[in-house]
Amino acid sequence: MLQPSDIEDMVKRTQKRFGAIDVLCANAGIFIQGDFAAYDMDAVSDMLRINIEGVLRCAHAVIPVMREQSSGDILITSSIAGHAELHRGPAYGATKHALETIVNTLRRQLADAGIRVMSLAPGKVANELWGYEDAAEIERLSVAEGGWLRSDDVAAAGLFMLSRPRHVTVRTVVMVPRHQEA
């Protein structure tokens, strides 16, 4: 698991190599689903630490650099679970609701520093997390059947958000596959 010192080292190495940090994409998380009463609470604790604390620590580490530069973008990957309650994921949903709160408060705190803070909240994405690695199967599930997003769909939305003029902040993009109920 990533340690706080690893995050600080990552920021220092990035700044040294590139001279600046233009974008932080905080895209990490684990997903626990099922009957809450059957949850392994140690696993839930790990999920809280990764899904919330990991994002907080990464943002906390880059904000001083971005303030010094008077610019930067923080793009946090949230989830549809931060906007709609998912029946089988109450603890996961809580982490994503927390991220939405973090995004919206940091956005206001950092706007005058020239830092944009945004949230990208996808629904189901056919990727390794769900056991999908075959490109043809991913195309069938997402494009033909409309039940899943592709990782490329999510990446394109993030690129759209980051490529807006500096005076525009796309606060949140919520995207779901055509047939997802949430």
Catalytic residues: 92
As a three-state string, the secondary structure of 128-165 is HHHCCCCHHHHHHHHHHCCCCECHHHHHHHHHHHHCCC
Residue whose C-alpha is closest to residue 73's, from 110, 19, 47: 110
Dist. CA 114–CA 68, nearest whole Å? 10
Residue whose C-alpha is closest to residue 106's, from 42, 44, 172: 172
Q: What number of CA atoms fall less than 13 Å from residue 23's CA on the CB side?
A: 13
Token couple for 64: 């001083």
Q: Can you state the angle between helices 90-110 and 41-48, rounded to 10 degrees?
A: 20
Dist. CA 128–CA 168, nearest whole Å? 33
Helix (H, G, I), strand (E, B) or coil at 85: coil
